[in-house]
Structure 1
């Protein structure tokens, strides 16, 4: 029996902490290790090859820390790196570990939220250009009409801590207006970036009251709970001391901790790491 380890949760920055927060609420008994690649964020406008390289470096680092299971709590990484990591990188080098993403669990249930069958998807440029949500939602809900809108400035606004200031409203309204121009029948909007829940209050202010806004935290947490119930061989490899560890590739850890606490809901203390040395 291998030594038990934590569940790894990865994001290009701090947005994945909104997912980790929901996971901890539903599955508090497990150990968790969070890694934010803030030193190289944002990922949204980077190339496929760069996103794959960065994500794979971070995943390998988390494996080296003893994580048998890693969640890519990053839509851009899930869209542009997950499949290559699962199908090409891991089989020969890490056949016993697992990496899961956030797109498929979301696509499996998003159709349950809409009455008009018209859904809007807000994401980074990388997520939108990948077409991953179009493909996955088509698989589970072929009757749905899906409209995408890239929001390239939202992650920088959030990562810089400017998301609560009045200046952010202009860019929130701009992208929402561009999305709603695509269809007057949209009744559900998916926040297809784990950063975006921090803008939820402003997003709702610029939307009609009858449009639902769906985040991913609870969806991914519920999916993980189901996954572990169906894979006891993995569940038995997870440590259950309730510990939480936080790492970042940004050397200014106090700055990371200040912003990250707003995402996670409680104060945290992170440790700097260089994943490239793994």
Structure 2
């Protein structure tokens, strides 16, 4: 079978944490990861800019024969996914698919909460979009959703300070912030692909009875279910167990940082968009 990998897109490195869980769940497929590091971060950019960048990257992955693309970026999922699905895909190729990370999480988060109060920890772009609030309300109308923007968490991770003593201040600041919304919060979602690297720090400032959710495993199981329900898409995804990594910035920088997220050495390729 010719190469038709599953495309995975992120604005930088964080999506590798999602890809890692997807590969663990579905190792038989080929995967092509694209990190738009040259234009990262997306979190503070306008809707129009994020949409333009994301669409450009999706088109590139389509050109690489990807029939299915996963936006493993919360900001892109919240600000660009719906427009791409509804406006662009019908014109580009109605038989291709672009999926995000917000809906799979929204479909299950209510199952973890006993009190009916959940907290969302994300970038400014994700929080301001209110995408999680809207999607969760569709699935669990009775759930109360609280949000907290954590602008320093991504820089901490990307500068490999996530395990430093200095990280404690910024982690505690936002954990205290989200928990101050309500004493009933019993579930926290790490709504950014960088945040799982901070999970040990987060646990230090969270009571034992609060559940902390990372997206990777949820998205991986959702994708497995999606492919099972959509054989017309699944059979277009090649199964040679290959993994390619592409960046729009320095490959040396990407490879040096990416192993923190991927857990193994990476040899990336450069492309100019």
Residue 186 in structure 1 maps to residue 185 in structure 2: yes
Contact 2:190 2:212 in 1 (8 A): yes
- For residue 262 of structure 2, the aligned residue among 261, 264, 272 is 264
Equivalent residue for 2:271? Answer: 273
Question: 2:267 and 2:210 mapped to 1: Cα distance?
Answer: 37
Q: CA RMSD in A?
A: 1.1
Equivalent residue for 1:55? Answer: 54
CA deviations on 1:12-52 (whole Å, 9 max, x unpaired) are 11111111000001100000000111111111111000100
Contact 2:67 2:236 in 1 (8 A): yes
CA deviations on 1:116-162 (whole Å, 9 max, x unpaired) are 11100001111111111111110111111110001111112212222
Give the unaligned 5+ runs of structure 1: none
Question: 2:110 and 2:257 mapped to 1: Cα distance?
Answer: 33
Segment drifting more, 87-96 vs 174-183: 87-96
CA deviations on 1:186-218 (whole Å, 9 max, x unpaired) are 110000111110111111111111111000001
What secondary structure is seen at the aligned counterpart in 1 of 2:91? helix
Contact 2:22 2:217 in 1 (8 A): yes
Structure 1 runs of 4+ aligned residues shifted over 4 Å read none
Counterpart mapping for 1:146-161 below 5 A? 146-161=145-160
TM-score, with length taken from structure 2: 0.98
Give the unaligned 5+ runs of structure 2: none
Contact 1:257 1:267 in 2 (8 A): yes
Q: Aligned residue pairs: how many? A: 273
Question: 1:204 and 1:169 mapped to 2: Cα distance?
Answer: 11
Equivalent residue for 2:101? Answer: 102
Contact 2:30 2:242 in 1 (8 A): yes
Question: 1:169 and 1:254 mapped to 2: Cα distance?
Answer: 29
